[in-house]
Amino acid sequence: MNIRFPDVDEHYIKTKVEAGYYMNETELVRDAVRHMREEDERKNQFLSAIKVGQDQVASGQHRELTPDVLNELRQTATRKIQEGHKPKSDVLPE
């Protein structure tokens, strides 16, 4: 596969390689593609979670988010952390 970049992108790529962020141009492009794949996966997981939520709301499986419910969620999260449970990685910001 041969890829041509506009001058501005080619300059950017060469600058990153020359600065030592990547060993060569190929490594930079592979990293960029990997990031794109990971972002697509996060987006797909997010959209799937929204669909689950929409389906639950449509079937009446939801609770209104009141101050009491929010407090209950905080207490449950605090208790689980104190018990040594770790949050799932998909809820942690990167």
The pTM score is: 0.65
pLDDT of 13 strictly over 70: yes
User: 62 with 56: CB under 8 angstroms?
Assistant: yes
CA distances from 42 to 46, 56, 89 (A): 6, 21, 12
Where residue 90 falls among pLDDT bands split at 50, 70, 90? low
The pLDDT of residue 47: 92
Report, as an integer, the average pLDDT of 54-79: 92
Report, as an integer, the average pLDDT of 33-40: 96
Q: What is the largest CA-CA distance in the chain?
A: 59
The pLDDT of residue 91: 58
Q: Give the residue, 30 or 63, on which the prediction is more confident.
A: 30
Cβ contacts of residue 44 below 8 Å, gap of 6+?
none
The pLDDT of residue 27: 98
